[in-house]
């Protein structure tokens, strides 16, 4: 296994193996299409397609870690307790979630700085109290949802789930978000790390962010926590495209990992990131063919909305 892995989080048994036979033919077809077009998720042709699957290098372990995006956002309403439980049930190695601060200083799990797209309400998260946020239905926008209405969780509730007996091997990727105007939530790093520390989960946590100063603050507050610099379309556009020489700028963040939009992860960039001493992850991948291609490249983790498909493609 690579040295870049969750401390205290061994691999969990994969779930969904029964899907493997069903996926085999689909993987063969979609692999050719994904690698030919560079649009594994249909979201743009300017990106770089992953290489076709080959043999995964032995030094990187048997397969990447499976990170459930916002829990399991393809199976249940994202960033809700239902989604986190669905991800764990599907066998994720870690769950990824996003946090903002409410107007009364509570750590709320939600991706966007506004509630409009993900709930039945409207407004800016940082302008609403926890009570106001908890009154919203976080499952209102999930197509076909027939389960119980979901509320926006606090970070503490999500951490308590990870601390439950039986979940000791599940890691956490904790994304600290910026407010709607691009400013940092005052004190959010300290509050989040205190909650993680209080539950003994520092060794199972990686703080992730597109904002590199946020990562620096997290390391200053908790030198033992791992961090991951996220880079995607906006970063590569500003940098002039995906090139190996950009590995130095990502490494300069001081992070332990680079989390790269998979559409921009070429073999050359991957090798340069490795040479810079970084672990490498790829997001967000729901195509089993691309999961396999990234595994053969040697990435440390793959973030997906569909951990059930990951378990079938890479048992």
Catalytic residues: 69, 111
Dist CA 285 CA 112 (whole Å): 20
SS (H, E, C) 162-182: HHCCCCCCCEEEEEECECCCC
The candidate with the shortest Cα–Cα distance to 291, out of 58, 59, 20, 87, is 20
Q: How many residues are present in the chain?
A: 315
Q: Are 72 and 306 in contact (CB under 8 A)?
A: yes
- Dihedral sign of CA atoms 240, 242, 244, 246 in order: positive
Q: Are 162 and 137 in contact (CB under 8 A)?
A: no
Angle, nearest 10°, between helix axes 188-198 and 212-221? 50
The candidate with the shortest Cα–Cα distance to 185, out of 204, 223, 213, 226, is 213
User: Which residue matches tokens 């490494």?
Assistant: 251
The candidate with the shortest Cα–Cα distance to 73, out of 117, 37, 103, 125, is 117
- Dihedral sign of CA atoms 228, 233, 239, 241 in order: positive
Angle, nearest 10°, between helix axes 188-198 and 155-163? 20
The structure tokens listed for 72 are 């399991």
In the Cβ-directed half-sphere of 47, how many Cα atoms lie within 13 Å? 23
Identify the DSSP state of 8. T
């Amino acid at each position: 296994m690579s040295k870049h892995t969750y401390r205290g989080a061994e691999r969990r048994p994969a779930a969904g193996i029964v899907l493997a036979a069903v996926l085999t033919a689909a993987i063969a077809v979609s692999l050719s299409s994904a690698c030919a077009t560079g649009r594994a998720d249909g979201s743009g042709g300017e990106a770089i397609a992953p290489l076709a699957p080959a043999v995964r290098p032995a030094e990187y372990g048997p397969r990447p870690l499976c990170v459930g995006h916002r829990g399991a956002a393809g199976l249940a309403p994202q960033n809700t307790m239902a989604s986190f439980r669905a991800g764990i049930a599907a066998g994720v190695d870690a769950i990824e979630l996003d946090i903002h601060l409410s107007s009364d200083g509570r750590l709320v799990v939600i991706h966007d700085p506004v509630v409009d797209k993900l709930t039945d309400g409207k407004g800016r998260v940082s302008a609403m109290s926890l009570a106001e946020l908890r009154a919203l239905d976080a499952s209102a926008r999930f197509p076909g949802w027939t389960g119980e209405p979901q509320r926006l969780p606090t970070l503490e509730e999500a951490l308590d789930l990870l601390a439950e007996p039986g979940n000791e091997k599940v890691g956490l990727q904790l994304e600290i978000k910026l407010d709607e105007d691009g400013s940092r939530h005052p004190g959010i790093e300290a509050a989040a790390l205190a909650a993680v520390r209080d539950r003994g989960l520092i060794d199972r946590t990686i703080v992730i962010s597109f904002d590199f100063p946020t990562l620096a603050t997290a390391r200053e507050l908790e030198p033992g926590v791992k961090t991951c610099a996220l880079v995607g379309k906006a970063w590569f556009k500003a940098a002039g495209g995906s090139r190996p020489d950009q590995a130095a700028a990502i490494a300069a963040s001081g992070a332990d990992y680079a989390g790269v939009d998979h559409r921009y992860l070429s073999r050359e960039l991957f090798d340069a990131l490795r040479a810079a001493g970084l672990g490498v992850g790829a997001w967000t991948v729901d195509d089993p063919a691309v999961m396999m291609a990234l595994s053969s490249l040697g990435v440390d983790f793959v973030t997906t909305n569909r951990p059930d498909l990951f378990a079938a493609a890479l048992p």
